[in-house]
Every structure is written in structure tokens, then in C-alpha cells.
């Protein structure tokens, strides 16, 4: 598996560290029904078999956080973007 880093080009997966599902959304601390919403954010995952939006960190490279869309059935990398270029939500 190789990830095309926007700075460093196509690099082996061993240079990267995986954080997981990028659809994690931390609810506001004072949100209505926050116990339930924090439970969903911390513990529940869609875990799709197919395209998956996820965080990778280029630890042995440019130290960038990347948001990658990868097919979990085939390990094919479908898209890579710098995390800093994604709107925060």
C-alpha cells in the first residue's frame, strides 16, 4: 500500500501512522443530550466495506496530517488531501 503525499509524492505505508475514521465529530461540551452524543462520537463507527475517510500522519516524512479516502476492500487509495485544507467541523 502506498499513499501519495501532497508534499513528498508516493510513499510506502510504513512511513505513515494511522489514526482512524475521519468522520469523528466531537460534540460541543454543552450539547443537548451530550452523554448520548459523546458515546456515539467516541465509540460508534460506520466501519464501511468500501470507501473510508480516514486520518494518516506522515511520521517518517513531512509530518503532515492527511485525510485519505481508501477502499477497505481493496486497499486502493482514492483521494489524499492535507488535513489543513479540510474545513474543521
Partner 1 sequence: MRYSIFSLLRQALVGHRGWEPAWRDAEPKPAYDVILVGGGGHGLSTAHYLAKVHGITDVAVLEKGWIGLGNVGRNTTIIRSNYLLAGNNPFYELSMKLWEGLEQDLNFNAMVSQRGVLNLYHSDSQRDAYARRGNAMRMHGVDAELLDAGAVRSMLPFLDFENARFPIQGGLLQRRGGTARHDAVAWGYARAASERGVDIVQNCEVTGFISEGERIVGVRTSRGDIRARKIGMAVAGNTSNVARMAGLRLPIESHVLQAFVSEAVKPLVPCVVTYGAGHFYVSQSDKGGLVFGGNIDGYNSYAQRGNLPTVEDVCESGMALMPAIGRVRIVRSWGGIMDMSMDGSPIIDRTPIDGLYLNGGWCYGGFKATPASGYCFAHLLARDEAHEVARAFRLDRFAAGRLLDEKGQGPQPNLH
**Binding stretches for partner 1 (CB under 8 A):** 1, 12-14, 18, 20-21, 35-36, 39-40, 42-49, 52, 54, 70, 72-75
- Smallest CA-to-CA distance from 1 within 75, 52, 58 is with 75
Surface-to-core class of residue 76, CB atoms within 10 Å of its CB (0-12 exposed, 13-18 middle, 19+ buried): exposed
Residue closer to partner 1 by CB (options 47, 87) is: 47
Least separation in angstroms between residue 86's CB and partner 1 is 19
C-alpha cell at 57: 500522519
Residue closer to partner 1 by CB (options 70, 87) is: 70
Amino acid at each position: 500500500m502506498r499513499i501519495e503525499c501532497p508534499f513528498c509524492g508516493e510513499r510506502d505505508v510504513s512511513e505513515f501512522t494511522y489514526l482512524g475514521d475521519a468522520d469523528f465529530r466531537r460534540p460541543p461540551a454543552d450539547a443537548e443530550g451530550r452523554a448520548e452524543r459523546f458515546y456515539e462520537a467516541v465509540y460508534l463507527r460506520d466501519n464501511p466495506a468500501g470507501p473510508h475517510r480516514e486520518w494518516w500522519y506522515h511520521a517518517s516524512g513531512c509530518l503532515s496530517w492527511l485525510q485519505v479516502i481508501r477502499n477497505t476492500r481493496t486497499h486502493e487509495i482514492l483521494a489524499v488531501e492535507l488535513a489543513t485544507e479540510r474545513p474543521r467541523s
